[in-house]
A and B are shown apart, each in its own frame.
Chain A
Amino acid sequence: MSTWVRKALDFVNQTGNLNKDKPASNIWMSNLQLVRQTTEADIILLLDFEDEETAKVKFSLPGSFNDFILTPTPIQQLIRRNGSKILYWDEIPALGYQLMKDILKGISSLVLIPLNSMSTESVLLIGWESGQDFNSDFKDCIETIKIRLKETKEQTRQLTYFQKIAIRYSAILHHIPHALVFVNSDGFTGWVNDEAAALLRLASPGDQLPAILSDAMTQLRDRAINREEIYKKAIRLFSYMETVTNWEWQMEDRNLLVSCIPIDMQQLSGRLWIFEERNK
């Protein structure tokens, strides 16, 4: 097995498991550090084409060009002229503008890897100060790196997208004035918002074990003045999976208007409880 084949396999192995707890920027940084380690390059630049006027250096190793802005047109034209193929240069070509030449000062060999996806357009530049032998094993390694980075790009894009959605809905659900409790029918998970955590006297909002939720809900029901009536209605409710609204739980100091809505979707099923406070 040639050195470059082994390096390509190592790269795939080490970038294979996406750590979803890390921000996308950290995932990229560690992957690009691996690219540098694998290729023994002197400079790595990841450029994102953000709009017609903006190509931003998202990551650079060494870090002196991070957040640097370039005018995208010359490099985009170069990529398109070459059909988005990987480009290998034994000497630095005229990339259309002085700025890139200045960035790549001292670099004698360069590889340009287009990393376009459906939603984003990027390019990775890998440069060496000394001459690089672009033999077929080396090119295979670079192709493997390209494929893996494109996968990482899509995965981190999705991860960022879902993290943003999670933040948005979490902010909405925690700020809603009603207490929300979701009990998943898988028997393993439940979730409460800020108001519900306070109402059920739980230590914190967010994910909860169903046993803890069930216990807290029972305690709340037991604090109600009309608990017998609630208990009877609850038995019927759990038997028929029906939607209940305007269900009054009379407490000492206030009334709670309760709704219980069955949720039955392809990837999620359970019951959503909504508690709305009514002053006595």
Chain B
Amino acid sequence: MDIIHRNNIHVIGNLNAPSTLILNHGFGLDQTCFKDIIPAFEQDYKIVLFDNVGGGKSDINAFSPKRYETINGYATDLAEIITALELSNINYLGHSVSGMTGVLTYTHYPERFSKLMLLGSSPRYLNEPTTNYVGGFDIPTLNSLFEAMENNYHAWAAGFAKAVMRHEDKPELAEEFARNLEKIRQDIAIVVAKAIFYLDHRFELPKIHVPTLVMQTAEDIAVPAVVSEYMEAHIPDCRRIKIHTEGHFPQITAPHEVIAAIQSFL
């Protein structure tokens, strides 16, 4: 297995830097979503970029519905990338679902990580009434979401993109995200969406023993603010920062705020 080809890996920035910065994109995006973030860190960090299998320019033939039916498959990919590139002293930034992918990988290889940064991430999207946990979604909502993905993927992509991007004053942002979603094969998108929305890794949070930054935006329909408060309460050494922008993609809509938050943390 050629991991470099499978994940379209790029190592850029200061290749002799003692610290590594891994930037891991979320569902429906690829490594280019960090293009406005990278310049602020390329002098001081070796920066590792890649596309998760099923998205971007990753090897589509490597997609397996079994491997990626949970995010454990993506955590293994990340672990394989880290070991193949012999990375250590890692500062990890995971957007959306890739925040939890990083947490899972960290729990198996804690010695390789220095810091974790979770941007719009959630340990569980589904509400759990028995414990009063609010993740933002209930079963009927998720069933409708998957039904819409199955019945008319293109219409779903357009609607979902608008809802999660917000920024109605810049419709081109949602349009571009919708185009990215449409590039993903429908069956792959559904498998991955189910892996994301049914995940539950709340019990991993107390196992994090490196400094962790949780970044939360306003009006993020994928991750309500209460989820970031939950994470702050359950991660031992956690700092929570509000990014002053709406929607689920602050690295695109407010890159300077994200850069400032990361710089203050690192």
How far, in angstroms, from A98 to B87 measured CA to CA in the complex? Answer: 12
Interface of B is mostly: helix
Nearest CB of A to B97, in Å: 15
On chain A, which size bracket covers the interface? Answer: 10 to 19
Instruction: Decide: B1 and A71 in contact? CB cutoff 8 A.
Output: yes
Whether a CB of chain B sits under 8 angstroms from the CB of A252 is no
User: B72 to A67, Cβ gap below 8 A?
Assistant: yes
With beta carbons under 8 angstroms apart, the residue of B67, B79, B83 that contacts A54 is: B67
A255 within 8 A of B: no
- Could you tell me the distance between the alpha carbons of A51 and B65 in the complex, rounded to whole angstroms? 9
B65-101 vs A, CB cutoff 8 Å, 1 = contact: the mask equals 0110010110110011001100000000000000000
Does B66 lie within 8 Å of A68, measured CB to CB?
no
| Whole-angstrom CA separation of A50 from B64 in the bound complex | 10
Question: Is A129 an interface residue, CB under 8 A from the partner?
Answer: no
Q: Which residues of A contact B108 (CB under 8 A)?
A: 65, 68, 102-103
Q: Are A53 and B83 in contact (CB under 8 A)?
A: no
Check if B109 sits within 8 Å of A102, measured CB to CB: yes
Bound Cα distance from A19 to B62, whole angstroms:
39
Is the pair B70, A67 in contact by a Cβ cutoff of 8 Å?
Answer: yes
Nearest A residue (CB) for B75: A69
Is the pair B64, A70 in contact by a Cβ cutoff of 8 Å? no
Q: Are A53 and B67 in contact (CB under 8 A)?
A: yes
- In the complex, the answer to whether B73 meets A69 with C-beta atoms within 8 Å is yes
Contact A53–B80 (Cβ < 8 Å): no
- With both beta carbons as reference points, the residue of chain B lying nearest to A50 in the complex is identified as B66
State whether the Cβ of A176 lies closer than 8 Å to any Cβ in chain B.
Answer: no
Q: Given A54-B67, A71-B1, A98–B76 Cβ distance below 8 Å?
A: no
Is A99 close to B, CB under 8 A? yes
Which of A54, A70, A102 has a CB less than 8 Å from the CB of B66? A54
How far is the CB of A195 from the nearest CB of chain B, in Å?
A: 27
Judge whether B64 and A99 touch: CB under 8 Å.
Answer: no
Asked whether B80 lies within 8 Å of A99 as measured between CB atoms, the reply is yes
Residues from chain A with a CB closer than 8 A to the CB of B80 are: 71, 97-99
Contact A53 B109 (CB under 8 A): no
Q: Within 8 Å of chain B (Cβ to Cβ): is A58? A: no
Answer whether A70 and B76 are a contact pair too, CB < 8 Å, given A50-B66, A54-B64: yes
- Is A56 close to B, CB under 8 A? yes
In the assembled complex, the CB of A151 is this many whole angstroms from the nearest CB of chain B, namely 25
Chain B residue at minimal CB-CB distance from A98 = B83
A73 interfacial contact with B, CB 8 Å: yes
The 0/1 profile, CB within 8 Å of A marked 1, for residues 105-121 of chain B is: 00011000000000000
**CB pair B62 A53 closer than 8 Å:** yes
Check B67–A51 contact: CB distance below 8 A.
Answer: yes
A277 to B144, CA, bound (A): 34
- Taking CB atoms, residues of chain A closer than 8 Å to B72 are 56, 67-69
Most buried by B among A53, A56, A97, A98: A53
Residues on A facing B (Cβ under 8 Å): 50-54, 56, 65, 67-71, 73, 97-99, 102-103
Residues of B within 8 A of A (CB): 1, 62-64, 66-67, 70, 72-73, 75-76, 79-80, 83-84, 108-109
5 smallest CB-CB distances across A and B, nearest first, come from A53-B64, A98-B83, A54-B67, A54-B66, A50-B66
What are 17 residue pairs bridging A and B, where the CB atoms are less than 8 Å apart in the complex?
Answer: A50-B64, A51-B64, A52-B64, A53-B62, A53-B67, A54-B73, A56-B66, A56-B72, A68-B72, A68-B76, A69-B75, A71-B1, A97-B80, A98-B80, A98-B84, A99-B83, A102-B109
